């Protein structure tokens, strides 16, 4: 551990000069600070910087941008997802906004439907919302129904795909990672009911990613999509290799040789100065920019370092 910290002292010092959300996660994930010592740091996420700016932009009605899911990325749904990624603490206003989405979006099939024209829920949206509400500690009788919905939409290959309703027969990386993150947040919540079916679904979903080495065709070995190799933050609903690796790091997945290509890719992205750049931005409206494409990124550097710390442990 000390060798890792010594090797990356410059990067860690730079991270600690960033937003409260960066400082908190750096101290938690890289410096292994105790939960008690981290409490004040986490509280600052809501009181300063990006977290406060987002919270201050909430409408009086409890939404953001007067929208549930649109406009992307300033709607209530995506603002809550970003606050979750910042590790903001739950507030009455955050819980109110989650309740609005629940009341507006919970559908008869058990999932979340944010469309006015489509008569079924969206697998990806349901996974992301499950992740959000479980992160903020919401306990609701509709959550088990969301779990049932997600489990019922598993593909034969172990993944998930929100295009299943229009004939998709192969898992989607975007949808699969969103569902896996949702199931993980549920599993570690205080109110989770342990289930062998959830465990199997998570195992099969991870195996789906591993069969593809996180970004390659399992048949040809070619890169499936170039954007998978470009690291973005926030990821919104999009998948990339760093998001996949960071998820496996978070659940402390046992190291697997099928991850070596992804780890090598991650290492290759490090600049000679020792940082990782923001490589991609997903088109859409934002309240404000967190970082600029092409410049060193604290988010990507933090996530890359904690992945490498996990991999080298």
- The CATH number of the domain holding residue 76 is 1.50.10.20
Determine, yes or no, domain membership for 114: yes
Domains identified in the chain, total number: 1
Determine, yes or no, domain membership for 184: yes
Determine, yes or no, domain membership for 138: yes
Q: 211-231 burial string, b = 16+ CB within 10 Å, else e? A: bbbbbbeeeeeebbeebbbbb
Determine, yes or no, domain membership for 162: yes
Residue 279's pLDDT is what? 98
Angle at 213 between CA 210 and CA 219, to 5 degrees: 100
Determine, yes or no, domain membership for 18: no
Determine, yes or no, domain membership for 35: no
Residue 1's pLDDT is what? 63
Mean per-residue pLDDT pooled into runs of 10, the chain (313 residues): 88 98 98 95 98 98 98 98 98 98 98 94 98 97 98 98 96 98 96 94 98 97 98 98 98 97 98 97 98 98 98 94
Kindly report the pTM of this predicted structure.
0.97
Determine, yes or no, domain membership for 186: yes
Residue 116's pLDDT is what? 86
Domain extent for 69: 45-312
Residues 6+ apart with CB under 8 A from 268: none
Determine, yes or no, domain membership for 10: no
Residue 48's pLDDT is what? 98
Residue 172's pLDDT is what? 98
């Amino acid at each position: 551990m000390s060798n890792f910290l010594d090797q990356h002292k410059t990067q860690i010092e730079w991270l600690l000069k960033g937003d409260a959300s960066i400082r908190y996660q750096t101290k938690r994930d890289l410096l292994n600070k105790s939960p008690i010592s981290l409490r004040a740091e986490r509280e600052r996420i809501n009181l300063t910087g990006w977290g406060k700016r987002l919270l201050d932009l909430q409408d009086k009605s409890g939404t953001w941008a007067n929208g549930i899911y649109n406009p992307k990325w300033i709607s209530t749904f995506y603002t809550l997802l970003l606050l979750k990624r910042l590790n903001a603490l739950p507030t009455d206003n955050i819980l109110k906004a989650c309740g609005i989405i629940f009341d507006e979006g919970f559908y008869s099939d058990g999932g979340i439907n944010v469309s006015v024209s489509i008569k079924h829920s969206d697998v990806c949206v349901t996974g992301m919302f499950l992740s959000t509400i479980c992160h903020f500690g919401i306990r609701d009788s509709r959550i088990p129904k969301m779990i049932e919905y997600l489990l019922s939409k598993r593909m034969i290959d172990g993944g998930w795909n929100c295009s299943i309703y229009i004939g998709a027969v192969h898992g989607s990386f975007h949808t699969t990672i969103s569902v896996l993150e949702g199931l993980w947040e549920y599993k570690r919540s205080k109110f989770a009911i342990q289930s062998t079916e959830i465990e199997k679904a998570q195992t099969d979903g991870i195996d789906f990613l591993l069969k593809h080495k996180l970004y390659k065709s399992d048949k040809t070995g070619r890169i499936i999509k170039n954007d998978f190799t470009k690291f973005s933050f926030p990821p919104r609903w999009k998948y990339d290799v760093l998001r996949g690796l960071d998820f496996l790091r978070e659940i402390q997945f046992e190291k697997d040789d099928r991850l070596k290509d992804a780890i090598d890719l991650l290492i290759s992205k490090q600049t000679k100065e020792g940082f990782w750049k923001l490589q991609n931005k997903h088109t859409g409206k934002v309240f404000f920019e967190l970082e600029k494409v092409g410049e060193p990124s604290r988010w990507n550097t933090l996530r890359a370092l904690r992945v490498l710390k996990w991999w080298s442990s």
